[in-house]
Amino acid sequence: MVRTAGGWRYLVHGHAIVSADDRIAGPDGRVPPSLRNDADWTRFQAALDRAAVTVLGRYGHEANPNRAGRNRLVLSSSARAVERRDDAWWWNPAGASPEAALAAAAPGGGIVAVVGGRQVFDLFLELGYDEFHLARIAGVHVPDGVAIFSEVVTGHNADAVLVGHGMRAGSAEVLDTAAGVTLKVWQHTGAKV
């Protein structure tokens, strides 16, 4: 699903850590301490350092100050189309195409790191990920929490959702044995199932 905009190439990489029941946050929308892991965080931060732009929703942007000064593209219905604000690029998908947003926010191409929340993950699920880096913490459940994808709410697990959108998982990598944290990197196969 390599995209081009203005002659530049973009690779879309999703990144998430989920509970055993595929939740990214608690019922209040906040990430609970049980979904935080130092080994995953270190790997995640290194991935964001390699990205040309990080894409996230307004709530995530406001809840997580951009201390590293990374280039951000914030999805919000408050933007007219694509606009530059003091703190980030802001994009309303109803007002501008993904190609227009990427061309504005990362005009030289590169990796687009999609970090959530659910509406952002859903949007790019439909647009197509090149890779999805899915970390999971075994034994942790977040009852009534925010599911990673809307399809999880309707009874599918995250793995099945990714398979259904043309992705295949690589081998599981253990990030933290004691905490039961594993990572699978899903890659697009070129066809939806």
Calpha distance 107→105 (Å, rounded): 6
At 168-187, the pLDDT tens digits run: 999 999 999 999 999 999 99
pLDDT of residue 1: 46
Q: Where are the beta strands (DSSP E) in the chain?
A: 3-5, 8-19, 23-25, 53-57, 72-75, 82-84, 89-91, 110-114, 131-137, 146-147, 167-169, 173-176, 181-188
Q: In terms of DSSP H, where are the helices of the chain?
A: 38-50, 58-63, 98-105, 118-127, 150-153, 158-164
Q: Does the pLDDT at position 34 exceed 80?
A: yes
Q: Domains of the chain: which residue ranges?
A: 3-188
Q: What is the pLDDT of residues 64-112, one digit of tens each?
A: 989 999 999 999 999 999 999 999 999 999 999 999 999 999 999 999 9
CATH number assigned to the domain covering 3-188:
3.40.430.10
Q: What is the DSSP letter of 87?
A: S
